[in-house]
Amino acid sequence: MNPADFQISIARRLKNRFVILLLIALACVALIPLIHVLHYVYAQGLPHWNLNFFTELPKPVGESGGGLGNAVVGSFFLVLVAAIVGVPVGILVGIFLSEYSRSALAGWVRTSIELLSGVPSIVLGIFAYSAIVVPIGHFSMLAGSFALAVILLPVVAKTTEEVLKLIPSHIREAGLALGIPRWKVTLRIVLIAARSGITTGVALALARVAGETAPLLFTALSSQHWPRSLLEPAASLPVQIYSFALAPFEEWNHLAWAAASVLVSLTLVTNLIMKWATRSRGESR
Amino acid sequence: MKAMTEVNSVGSARKSFDPIFERGLKFVAILVMSLLILIIFFLYQLAAPAIHEYGWGFMFKSDWNPAKLIFGAYPFIHGTLITSLFALALSVPVSIGTALFLTEIASRQVAAVIGFLVELLAAIPSVVYGLWGLTVLAPRVRVTVQPWLSEHLSFIPGFSGMPYGVGVFSASIVLAIMITPTITSIAREVFRAVPHAQREAALAIGATHSEMIWLSVVRVSWSGVFGAVVLGLGRALGETMAVTMLIGNRNEVANSLFSPAQTMASLIANEYPEATNPLHIGALAYIGLILFGISFIVQGLARRIVNRVANPSGGGA
């Protein structure tokens, strides 16, 4: 046989070149919006970053200056309360899914966790409204935190399960062989060994939840004042971005962009730190 | 011998907490499982007035007038499906292409960086996309994109209409950006699950790089890719804030790609905070229940497919 028979025809070679370039181009297309959004948010938001943004209340229409201090504090407490409820429960469910995965119940729980993470956040807002706002009789930070906790829970459970499954089983067996009871092996050895992975997952989940807007619209609502109680409505950064973006006052638009850049920085910094902290694990996902 | 029994008895005394621990975990897990039922229950409770008033026909009525207490969900179901499907049409080629680039072309380091950047797309809050879309995208659609498209593609129905900037088109573009990371990451998992021997086999019989990608990666991954796309659809259906800010909020059936419309989620976001009449709240909660049902079915289906393909041993994706 002539070696020339094995040569790849020009048409096939061109087609190959074309497909490879096309795939590279598509990957670039996917990144254009990211770069544009990040660039634009910082170009618009950074000029309005100052101390007042974090320490002052929004000024009435027509006055210049003012900040979104109440929304910063409000967002912080909304996420904090959601974390206090959602994170421990999520971790416990994750432990159950990983360490007792052979029980029939685990399969059901895993499915419901997946479905729960797919429930649109606006629907969870109605849920929190119905479960908390209606019985209490008015909008409250608590209702907002409750909705956020329900969003947080499946994410934390899922990551915990995945991280715990990466812990080699001989570590569990070593603990059990020493006569340590199973609950202690789980909590004091397996969970501790997995703590960096769980921390990463929780941090990313919290950063995501901090940007959630839809479930807060009719639970925590909004407020002109500093948050004082869990049972009162509270301002939050995402809801303020929404209402100030649509407001016809330039000063408020500036605050919206500043708030957007603060939120984006929060997720950006969290993602970067967590990527850096877990870099040694490399391409396991 | 005596020492041994002592050790054993100490062990069993300590172990007696084990069943309690397991039962506690089970209790929490069941509690979380029942959340889904609670969500349905509480939504139903609010929606009951509207459900009793309209029944199933609610989904096919197209009048919505809170002032006169006339409610029908059809325009919003239509708006949700149109924006989501158009977003899918825009996002699927880009997402699948990106996933193929990451698994088949890029080196490990490049794939790690680009993959991380694509994941960042998912980390940007929806409301920020809305703000960006409102100030950057919508004006451009109004001034540049739409006039061009209606001039050159006006023979296709759906490309005509007044240039508002906000509407189905702008909302779909932002939606497409937001679901791209979801589809990309799942498709990436699916492609990665293809055994290496299969790629080597294609190359060994003389396939070019692109032919190898087609023969041994894409062709065996249809069902997984389909799952990834359906999962992206599930994300798109429930997406609220960016759509609310960009869709133009008109409670009518959209007759053009550029006309303002309303999705189920954006309607709830718009009207729920101000709704006071129980029938109005009920109708909105009913729409929430429909949205819950649709995304429940779509996501459940997608998860089944994806879990089977990307993770044949069972367990989560």
pLDDT value at residue A2: 57
pLDDT at A204 over 80: yes
Model confidence pLDDT, tens digit, residues B238-253: 999 999 999 998 888 8
Q: At which residue do the structure tokens 């009871």 appear? A: A181
**Is the CB of A20 less than 8 angstroms away from the CB of B35?**
no
**Is the CB of B128 less than 8 angstroms away from the CB of A37?**
yes
Other beta carbons less than 10 A from residue B267's beta carbon = 28
pLDDT value at residue B146: 82
Hey, is B51 helix, strand or coil?
helix
pLDDT value at residue B314: 43
pLDDT value at residue B163: 77
**Is the CB of B208 less than 8 angstroms away from the CB of A8?**
yes
pLDDT band at B156 (very low <50, low <70, confident <90, very high): confident
Q: Which residues, at least 6 apart from B143, have a Cβ–Cβ distance to it below 8 Å?
A: B163, B165
pLDDT value at residue B312: 57
Q: Which residues, at least 6 apart from A83, have a Cβ–Cβ distance to it below 8 Å?
A: A149, A152, A202, A206
Express as a percent the part of chain B with pLDDT over 90: 66
pLDDT band at A109 (very low <50, low <70, confident <90, very high): very high
CATH number, domain with residue B231: 1.10.3720.10
Give the chain A residue whose CA is nearest to the CA of B136.
A40
Joined together, the tokens standing for residue A27 give: 């990957």
Number of cross-chain residue pairs from A and B with Cβ atoms under 8 Å apart = 289
Domains of chain A: 64-281 (1.10.3720.10)
Q: Which residues of B touch A37 (CB under 8 A)?
A: 124, 128-129, 132
**Is the CB of B209 less than 8 angstroms away from the CB of A16?**
yes
Task: Say if B7 falls within a structural domain.
Answer: no
- Mean pLDDT on B46-53: 92
Q: At which residue do the structure tokens 């709704």 appear? A: B275
Nearest Cα to A98, choosing from A113, A85, A86, A119?
A113
pLDDT band at B316 (very low <50, low <70, confident <90, very high): very low
The number of folded domains in chain B is 1
Cα–Cα distance for residue pair B268/A240, rounded to 1 Å:
18
pLDDT at B203 over 90: yes
- Mean pLDDT on B307-314: 65
pLDDT at A57 over 50: yes
pLDDT at B3 over 70: no
Picking from A123, A160, A217 by the largest number of B CB atoms within 10 A of its own CB, the best residue to mutate is A123
B151-186 residues labelled b (16+ CB within 10 A) or e (exposed)? eeeeeeebbbbeebbbbbbbbbbbbbbbbbbbbbbb
Task: Say if B22 falls within a structural domain.
Answer: no
pLDDT band at B255 (very low <50, low <70, confident <90, very high): confident
Cα–Cα distance for residue pair A103/B144, rounded to 1 Å:
59
Cα–Cα distance for residue pair A253/B131, rounded to 1 Å:
10
pLDDT value at residue B7: 46
Nearest Cα to B176, choosing from B227, B137, B135?
B137
Q: Which residues of A touch B7 (CB under 8 A)?
A: 179
CB-closest option in B36, B121, B132 to A40: B132
CB-closest option in A16, A131, A283 to B208: A16
Q: Which residues of B touch A212 (CB under 8 A)?
A: 125-126
Q: At which residue do the structure tokens 């692109």 appear? A: B210
- Mean pLDDT on B92-113: 95
CB-closest option in B127, B134, B180 to A238: B127
Give the chain B residue whose CA is nearest to the CA of A261.
B128
Task: Say if B162 falls within a structural domain.
Answer: yes
CB-closest option in B131, B292, B303 to A256: B131
Task: Say if B63 falls within a structural domain.
Answer: yes
Distant-in-sequence contacts of B138-145, Cβ < 8 A, 24+ apart: B138/B165, B138/B166, B138/B170, B138/B246, B139/B165, B141/B165, B141/B167, B141/B169, B141/B170, B141/B173, B141/B258, B145/B169
- Mean pLDDT on B113-119: 93
pLDDT value at residue B2: 44
Joined together, the tokens standing for residue A53 give: 């943004």
pLDDT at B120 over 90: yes
Task: Say if B13 falls within a structural domain.
Answer: no
pLDDT at B20 over 60: yes
B63-80 residues labelled b (16+ CB within 10 A) or e (exposed)? ebebeeeebbbbbbbbbb
**Lowest-pLDDT range, A41-50, A185-194, B4-13, B104-113?**
B4-13
Q: What is the ipTM of this complex?
A: 0.91
Check if the beta carbon of residue B306 is closer than 8 Å to that of residue B231.
Answer: yes
DSSP chain A: --GGGGSPPHHHHHHHHHHHHHHHHHHHHHHHHHHHHHHHHHHHHGGG-SHHHHHSPBPPTT---B--HHHHHHHHHHHHHHHHHHHHHHHHHHHHHHHTTTSHHHHHHHHHHHHHHHS-HHHHHHHHIIIIIHHHSS--HHHHHHHHHHHHHHHHHHHHHHHHHHS-HHHHHHHHHTT--HHHIIIIIIHHHTHHHHHHHHHHHHHHHHT--GGGTTTT---SS----TTS----HHHHHHHHHSSS-HHHHHHHHHHHHHHHHHHHHHHHHHHHHTGGG-S--
Task: Say if B11 falls within a structural domain.
Answer: no
Q: Which residues of A touch B128 (CB under 8 A)?
A: 37, 41, 211, 241, 260, 263-264
CA distance A134 to chain B (A): 10
CA angle A236, A241, A245 (to 5 degrees): 150
**Lowest-pLDDT range, A265-274, B11-20, B264-273?**
B11-20
Nearest Cα to B93, choosing from B197, B229, B207?
B229
Hey, is B159 helix, strand or coil?
coil
pLDDT at B231 over 90: yes
Joined together, the tokens standing for residue A52 give: 């007042």
Burial (0-12, 13-18, 19+ Cβ within 10 Å), B232: buried
Cα–Cα distance for residue pair A275/A203, rounded to 1 Å:
11
Joined together, the tokens standing for residue A220 give: 């925590």
Q: Which residues, at least 6 apart from B256, have a Cβ–Cβ distance to it below 8 Å?
A: B158, B159, B160, B161, B168
pLDDT value at residue A40: 96
Domain boundaries, position B272: 51-310
Joined together, the tokens standing for residue B78 give: 């239509």
Task: Say if B105 falls within a structural domain.
Answer: yes
pLDDT value at residue B12: 52
CA angle A136, A140, A145 (to 5 degrees): 110
- Mean pLDDT on A166-170: 91
Mean pLDDT computed over every residue of chain B: 88
Cα–Cα distance for residue pair A82/A149, rounded to 1 Å:
4
Q: Which residues of A touch B211 (CB under 8 A)?
A: 12, 16
CB-closest option in A158, A238, A271 to B120: A271
